[in-house]
A = this chain, B = another copy of it.
Amino acid sequence: MSLNRRHWIALLATLGLAPAAAGAAGPKGKRQLVHHVFFWLKNPGSAADRDALIAGLGTLRAIPVIRDLRIGVPAATEDRSVVDSSYSVSELMVFDSVADQARYQDHPVHQRFVATCGHLWDRVVVYDSIDV
Copies of this chain, complex-wide, total: 2
- CB neighbours of A21 from chain B (8 A): 54
With A55-B18, A98-B77 in contact, do A127 and B24 touch (Cβ < 8 Å)? no
Q: How many Å lie between the Cα of A109 and that of B14 in the bound state?
A: 9
Q: How many Å lie between the Cα of A78 and that of B100 in the bound state?
A: 12
In the complex, besides A9-B61, A24-B70, A36-B92, 8 extra interface pairs with C-beta distance below 8 angstroms are A10-B58, A14-B62, A20-B55, A21-B54, A70-B129, A70-B131, A74-B128, A85-B128
SS of A interface (majority): mixed
Q: Which 9 A-B pairs have the closest CB atoms?
A: A72-B129, A13-B58, A20-B51, A10-B61, A75-B130, A10-B62, A75-B128, A24-B71, A77-B128
Chain A interface extent, by class: 35 or more
- CB neighbours of A98 from chain B (8 A): 75-77
Chain A contacts with B in 45-83, Cβ cutoff 8 A: 50-51, 54-55, 58-59, 61-62, 68, 70-78, 80, 82-83
